[in-house]
Chains A and B, each alone.
Chain A
Amino acid sequence: MTEVPVSIPDALRPGLAARAGAPRRSGALRQLWLVASLDVGESLRARWFAVYAALFGGIVAMLFVFGLTESRILGFMGLSRLLVTYIQLCMAILPIFVLVTTVRSVAGDREAGVFEYLLSLPVGLGAWFWGRMFGRFLVVYLPVLFAMGAAAGWATYSGIEVPWALFGLYAALLAALSACFLGLAMGISAVARTVDVAQGAAFALWLVLILFLDLILLGVMIQEHVPAETVVSLALANPLQVFRTAALMLFDPDLVLLGPAAFVIFDAFGKTGFLIYSLAYPTLLGLAAAALGYWRFRRGDLP
């Protein structure tokens, strides 16, 4: 049997054409992808990413160890219980992790002189900003998804029923949540000039959103007879509340766990309507915040 030599065109091998000495053209899309892959590489080498990936992997492993897959509490069967617990933990951890690590990384790079040097190369500002956001989205979302995927894979292997519809919904909700807080973090990073200010603003934002969750401040507001429209508007404006409501409403159609505002919201939107809203609103909010950040970034001093 003779081996047939296979030649791969240089254009399909990243970096090879450059090393071979052939000049290359660098379009905006290529630059965006380059910056994204650069950011992914930098994140993979950063300590925060190791902690982040270990955390979500650890959560899934821990949930398996504690046997949540087989729990029949509240009627959950198969992997559902694990996924519900996982998504609740994600809601607690992912936003603050994404906010703090992103603002530290972006504002930190600016302070440390990374912007001064890399932006002295002819890379477009759009490719730089959106490339970083896209790269970071992959870095924050994929570990969360992989951890969930690993749980589903292990469940399939162990003969445990996997609720694929729920899996899909949670994957989409987590993508929306990641995009939302990533966009907010990029917006904050563009406006704040120092790491300390950016970190403080990110933490304050997270705290406000936590306080305006249905079961905490909204509950108090209802007790104090704040108009229902105000309460519902606040709940709808809070991406954490939207995420929480969407994540739990499939299991708690009466929403006894979620609080009164969620009940009104669910009643007004309906199941499908609210699911669409819960995916679209956080994503659009994140993109709007990032777009505002980009506008500010383009207009201001870069380093």
Chain B
Amino acid sequence: MIRAEQLTKSFGRARVLDQLDLAVASGERIALVGANGAGKTTLIRCLLGEYTYQGKVSVAGCEPRAERTDVLRRIGFVPQLPPPLRMPVGRLLDFAATVCGGATEPMEEVSRRLGLDPHAVWKQPFAKLSGGQKQKLLIAIALGRTCELLVMDEPAANLDPQARRVFFELLAERQGSATMLISSHRVDEVAQLVSRVIELDQGKVVLDDRVDGAAALDTVLRCRIELSRASDAASAALRNWGLVPVNGGLRFTGTIAGPDRLRFLGALARYSGLLRELVLEEPRDEEDPS
């Protein structure tokens, strides 16, 4: 799906991508990780045909710059920072659907699944939405169209746990039909989503590793927690993750998206002194996780 040979990109004297070689097969789920300035965004922009470069790059056999629109028809892109567009949400969806040769309806459907009814904000300027709402719409535009490659830069950073779970389900539905390239500066944020991790440093690939035992994207874990004493902050955090209190508020039960397990444990870390019991279990095949 993606092939880069001796890919080099410089800005003035600064070489951001340095003779980078990369091959990604169709259907792979790649985590593109690295520190700030490692070259992740530059690589993405080369794939999107937005940067000129030295070397060779192809996406589905097409050269991104020379055959830009052909390549972009195959790519769904979610940027790290939402653009400050003043246009209303409806206009943005209509524009995106039209240039992609599709329809807004599937995008609206994805947005609704993520918890944002686009018609409720149809006439609102995109820039006036909250960070999470913007992210949901950008994901909806990328996933609400037919594409062979999903390129996402920190896609779930602004999403609440419920929306993240739906997002993982949406990615799971695309498994097999779309290659995924998910960029993040932290490997633990995306490790559960991918089958392969590529780390960049100073414009070069410094790690290219398969992920063993990668969880299925749509895995849901049953969760049970008991606190040793009541805490408003801990209760609020657990409720935010979709857990509900039982037996007077010290016990909480619910489900957690499988790819979010590490993030969930990270969120629990600050309340570790209050934890009397913590159970995370994967339901057996025939069981309903809820």
A: which residues have CB within 8 A of B? 14-15, 17-26, 30-31, 34, 38, 41-42, 45-46, 112-125, 299-303
Is the C-beta of B50 less than 8 angstroms from some C-beta in chain A?
yes
Task: Give every chain B residue within 8 A of A20 (Cβ-Cβ).
Answer: 103, 105
Whether the Cβ atoms of A19 and B101 lie closer than 8 Å is no
Q: List 10 A-B contacts (CB under 8 A).
A: A18-B103, A20-B105, A21-B103, A26-B101, A30-B98, A116-B50, A123-B69, A123-B99, A124-B68, A299-B52
Q: Which residue of A lies closest to B50 (CB)?
A: A302
Contact B86 A42 (CB under 8 A): yes
- Which residues of chain B are near A25, meaning CB under 8 Å? 101
B residues within 8 A CB of A116? 45, 50, 79, 83
- Over the window 126-142 of chain B, the binary record of Cβ atoms lying under 8 Å from chain A Cβ atoms (1 yes, 0 no) is 00000000000010000
| Bound CA span A301–B9, Å | 11
Residues of chain B within 8 A of A114, CB atoms compared: 83-85
CA distance A17 to B84 in the complex (A): 27
Q: Which residues of A contact B95 (CB under 8 A)?
A: 34, 38, 121
Residues of the A chain whose Cβ atoms lie less than 8 Å from the Cβ of B96: 121
Among residues of A, the one whose C-beta sits closest to the C-beta of B84 is A112
Interface residues as binary, B36-57 with A (CB distance below 8 Å gives 1, 0 otherwise): 0000000001001111100000
Determine if B77 is an interface residue (Cβ-Cβ < 8 Å). yes
Complex CA gap A23/B100 in Å reads 9
Known: A116-B79, A125-B68, A303-B45. A23 touches B103 (CB 8 A): yes
CA distance A38 to B101 in the complex (A): 17
State whether B94 touches A122 (Cβ < 8 A).
Answer: no
**How long is the Cα–Cα vector from A20 to B95 in the complex, in angstroms?**
14
Q: Which interface class (under 10, 10 to 19, 20 to 34, 35 or more) fits B?
A: 35 or more
Residues of B within 8 Å of A31, CB to CB, are 99
Are B91 and A38 in contact, CB atoms less than 8 angstroms apart? yes
Are A121 and B72 interface neighbours, CB within 8 A? yes
Query: Are A41 and B91 in contact, CB atoms less than 8 angstroms apart?
Result: yes
The residues in B between 73 and 93 inclusive whose CB is less than 8 angstroms from any CB of A are: 73, 75, 77, 79, 81-87, 90-91, 93
The answer to whether A117 touches B104 (Cβ under 8 A) is no
Whether B99 contacts A19 by the Cβ 8 Å rule is no
Q: Hey, which chain A residues are within 8 Å of B100, CB to CB? A: 26, 121-122
The distance in angstroms between the C-alpha atoms of A123 and B105, with both chains bound, is 20
The 3 closest A-B pairs by CB, nearest first: A122-B72, A21-B105, A120-B77
Q: Could you tell me if A24 and B125 are in contact, using CB atoms closer than 8 angstroms?
A: no
Task: Determine if B81 and A113 form an interchain contact, defined as CB atoms under 8 angstroms apart.
Answer: yes
CA distance A20 to B104 in the complex (A): 8
Residue B102 at the chain A interface, CB threshold 8 Å: yes
Cα–Cα, bound, A31→B95 (Å): 9
Nearest neighbor of B103 in chain A, beta-carbon distance: A21
CA distance A117 to B44 in the complex (A): 12
**Known pairs A23-B102, A121-B99, A122-B99; A301 contacts B87 (CB<8 A):** no
Contacts A42-B87, A114-B85, A303-B45; A120 near B99 (Cβ below 8 A): no
Residue of A with least CB distance to B69: A122
Contacting pair B84 A113 (CB below 8 A): yes
Starting from the known contacts A19-B105, A21-B106, A113-B83, 7 additional A-B residue pairs (CB-CB under 8 Å) come to A19-B94, A23-B102, A38-B95, A41-B91, A42-B86, A116-B45, A122-B100
With a CB–CB cut-off of 8 A, which chain B residues contact A123?
69, 99
Distance to closest chain B CB from A113 (angstroms): 5
Query: Is B250 interfacial (CB 8 A cutoff)?
Result: no
Distance in Å from the Cβ of A106 to the closest Cβ of chain B? 14
Q: Are A45 and B72 in contact (CB under 8 A)?
A: no
Least distance between B106 CB and chain A CB atoms (Å): 8
Q: Which residues of B contact A38 (CB under 8 A)?
A: 87, 91, 95
Q: Which of B79, B90, B97 contacts A113 (CB 8 A)?
A: B79
Q: In whole angstroms, how far apart are the Cα atoms of A120 and B142 in the complex?
A: 10
In whole angstroms, what is the CA distance A125 to B72 when docked? 12
Q: Are A18 and B81 in contact (CB under 8 A)?
A: no
Taking CB as reference atom, which chain B residue is nearest A115?
A: B50
Whole-angstrom distance from the CB of B89 to the nearest CB of chain A? 13
Among B70, B96, B99, chain A packs the most CB atoms within 10 A around the CB of B99
In Å, the complex CA distance between A31 and B73 comes to: 14
Q: Among A22, A41, A42, point to the contact of B103 (Cβ < 8 A).
A: A22
Contact of A34 with B103 in the complex, beta carbons under 8 Å: no
User: Provided the pairs A15-B94, A21-B105, A121-B72 are in contact, do residues A302 and B87 lie with their beta carbons within 8 angstroms?
Assistant: no
CB atoms of A23 and B101 under 8 A apart: yes
Q: Report Cα–Cα, A124/B96, bound state, in Å.
A: 13
How near does chain A come to B30, taking the closest CB pair, in angstroms? 18
Residues of chain A within 8 A of B138, CB atoms compared: 117
Chain B residues with CB below 8 A from A19, complex form: 94, 103-105
